[in-house]
Amino acid sequence: MNIAKERTNLYLNSELKKMTQEKLSSYGMNLSSFVNLMMAKLVKKDVDILLPDETIEVLEDFENNKNSFEKPVEFDEIKREFDKLK
């Protein structure tokens, strides 16, 4: 399978790029491969690696139970209730 490639210019933090390249090198990977991997994961909506575990758990809980959550309360409604307390 032949995948079309194109050259792209990115503006990166020089120090972060250097540290990333060193880390990737220890895995036998280069920066280009890493960027392609991250883009593929993002496109597949498999972005778990970008989020902390706690955030993933909350999102999964919401997705599984979204019909059981109360409807959002509008700010004006909260303000009216607060004004009644004055």
| Dist CA 17 CA 20 (whole Å) | 5
Which of residues 53 and 13 earns the better pLDDT score? Answer: 13
Q: Is residue 9 part of a domain?
A: no
Q: Number of folded domains in the chain?
A: 1
The reply to whether 4 falls in a domain is: no
pTM, 2 dp: 0.49
pLDDT for 17: 94
Ranges of H-type helices in 1-86: 14-26, 31-43, 53-65, 75-84
Report if residue 47 sits inside a domain: yes
pLDDT confidence of residue 60: 77
Model confidence at 61: pLDDT above 90:
no
Taking the C-alpha atoms of residue 21 and residue 35, their distance in angstroms, rounded to an integer, is 11
Domain-located, residue 1: no
pLDDT computed for residue 23 by the predictor = 93
Each residue's pLDDT tens digit, 5-51: 899 898 999 999 999 999 999 989 999 998 988 888 777 766 566 67
The whole domain housing 80 covers: 14-84
Give a yes or no: residue 28 inside a domain.
yes
Any domain includes 74: yes
